Amino acid sequence: ILNVEQSPQSLHVQEGDSTNFTCSFPSSNFYALHWYRWETAKSPEALFVMTLNGDEKKKGRISATLNTKEGYSYLYIKGSQPEDSATYLCAFRGGSASKIIFGSGTRLSIRP
């Protein structure tokens, strides 16, 4: 059974602070890792698709790294703002299979 785990489950960060959280996934048969941002009462929004070991992606204050050999990805948020409050989901796709396995998400709350 393939398992994708995210930690921590929830995180409370002061506005202006930087933060990061982790997605762990199977290190074998890797195809792609997706990060999604899911605000309350909205649809999940795709942030990054990462396919190569050592990939680093950046979108504004949010960036992500990928280590496929050890099976983890980090998401970093620099200078957190209230609008960053959301659940951040990672999703693993193995081999050429179309099935995606999601983690349970990290729920991020930013304190003003």
Partner 1 sequence: DAGVTQSPTHLIKTRGQQVTLRCSPKSGHDTVSWYQQALGQGPQFIFQYYEEEERQRGNFPDRFSGHQFPNYSSELNVNALLLGDSALYLCASSLLFSPQHFGDGTRLSIL
Task: Report whether 86 contacts 67 (CB < 8 A).
Answer: no
Interaction of residue 103 with partner 1, rule CB under 8 A: yes
Which of residues 47 and 110 has its CB atom nearest to partner 1 in the complex? 47
Shortest distance (Å) from residue 22 CB to partner 1 = 14
Q: Taking CB under 8 A as the rule, does residue 43 contact partner 1?
A: yes
Decide: is 105 part of the binding site for partner 1 (CB under 8 A). yes
Min separation Cβ 24 and partner 1, Å: 13
Contact positions vs partner 1 (CB under 8 A): 4, 6, 32, 34, 36, 42-46, 49, 89, 93, 96-105
